[in-house]
Chain A
């Protein structure tokens, strides 16, 4: 009985000694694969994201935020486990500009008005990409663009807009030929 037990024990120990590391290695591999799932299958590199909206041009209606009276369309929106990511795409090369971020934030605020829980905006040019985390409160988000919204409203109602000449800006401006401040 004693001999049988010791043989059994020895075989058990041997089996564990051989299979144990193999199983442990398989466990580690699977665990690593599971934990590493952050890789994205979209051009923006957003992990675990599902494309939920694309601006198709004129046939896509904008979102409206009635509280702040802003409207807009992000270029795309991705649904992620933590909320919605709005995308603003600029076809030019070069870095992301402040004006791009303001536009993206305003479009995100508009989308929030229609019930989309946008928590981040991604602004992408051909050579650059910037992720901006948004405040949870709509009011706080609005406060970040309030100055620009006020300026746009004022101009829309007949006010004057201050010129902000800069060689690169003026070169890309659609109205450079009629602008007295242009330094293009």
Chain B
């Protein structure tokens, strides 16, 4: 009995066929799924969501670079600099270009900061000054 005329096949079906072709046949024929398998699927979904969260968190860390290195990932000063980036830099083409260049170069600087405390202190001093210049410090204190 033909189940489908379509040639299209999904990656998960390909994986199942490799795992056990008979299991795929049972799936297509509508064989019952055990309660334990349903529970395992729910656990798998939760684990996937957890993994997604980990990847997103790590990415956020990765994108905050110097401020995260100097102040800490979740520090209000880091958040304030992020807000400034999104509200002031990102709306303009020049700002976006600056952010792009910053993203490309700052991981190197972070690496140096991690290794040399004197560079870390200098970056902190410069960032504090920068925050004063763009009035972020004042805004956060209000």
Q: Give A residues with C-beta under 8 Å from B.
A: 29-30, 32-34, 36-37, 39, 41-44, 48, 50-51, 54-57, 62, 69-73, 75-76, 89, 91-92, 97-100, 102-104, 106-107, 110, 126, 145, 148-149, 151-153, 155-165, 169, 172-179, 181
Question: Interface of B with A (CB < 8 Å)?
Answer: 1-28, 31-34, 37, 40-41, 43-45, 47-48, 51-52, 54-56, 58-59, 61-63, 107-108, 111-112, 114-116
- Given A158-B2, A175-B27, A102:B15 Cβ within 8 A: yes
- A76 contacts which chain B residues (CB < 8 A)? 52, 55
Q: 7 extra interchain contacts, Cβ-Cβ under 8 A, other than A70-B9, A158-B2, A177-B34?
A: A34-B108, A37-B111, A42-B58, A145-B14, A155-B21, A162-B22, A181-B22
Q: Between A and B, how many residue pairs show CB distances below 8 Å?
A: 196
Q: Do B20 and A163 touch across chains, with their CB atoms under 8 A apart? A: yes
A73 interface neighbour in B11, B23, B58, Cβ under 8 Å: B11
Q: Contact: B23 with A42, CB < 8 Å? A: no
Q: CB-CB < 8 A to B41: which residues of A? A: 174
B34: chain A residues at CB < 8 Å are 174-177
From A41, A44, A50, A156, B3 is in contact (CB under 8 Å) with A156
B108 neighbours in A (Cβ, 8 Å): 33-34, 37
Residue of A nearest to B44 (CB): A91
Query: A153 vs B63: C-alpha distance in the bound complex, in angstroms?
Result: 42
The distance from the CB of B61 to the nearest CB of chain A, in whole angstroms, is: 5
Which B residues touch A44, using CB under 8 A? Answer: 55
Q: What are 20 inter-chain pairs, A to B, with CB distance below 8 A?
A: A33-B112, A37-B107, A43-B55, A51-B62, A54-B52, A69-B9, A71-B10, A76-B52, A98-B18, A152-B24, A156-B9, A156-B13, A156-B28, A158-B2, A165-B20, A173-B37, A174-B23, A174-B27, A175-B23, A175-B37
Tell me if B11 and A103 are in contact (CB < 8 A). Answer: yes
**Cβ-defined contact, A107 with B27, below 8 A:** no
- A50 B2 Cβ-Cβ under 8 A: no
Contact B9 A149 (CB under 8 A): yes
What residues on A are CB-neighbors of B56 within 8 Å?
Answer: 51, 54
List residues of chain A with CB within 8 A of the CB of B63: 50
Indicate if the CB atoms of B115 and A29 lie closer than 8 Å.
yes
Q: Are A173 and B23 in contact (CB under 8 A)?
A: yes
Contact call A155/B37, Cβ cutoff below 8 A: no
Query: Given that A29-B115, A179-B26 are known contacts, is A97 also in contact with B9, CB under 8 Å in the complex?
Result: no
Residue contact A48 to B20, C-beta cutoff 8 Å = no
CB of B5 within 8 A of CB of A41, answer: no
Are the CB atoms of B55 and A42 closer together than 8 Å?
Answer: yes
Instruction: Tell me the nearest residue of chain A to B8, going by C-beta.
Output: A69
| C-alpha gap A99/B24 in the complex (Å) | 12
- Check A102 against B18 for contact (C-beta < 8 Å): yes
Give, as a whole number of angstroms, the nearest-CB distance from B84 to chain A: 21
| Residue on B nearest A153 in the bound complex, by CB | B9
Q: Which residue of A lies closest to B61 (CB)?
A: A41
Does A29 lie within 8 Å of B8, measured CB to CB?
A: no
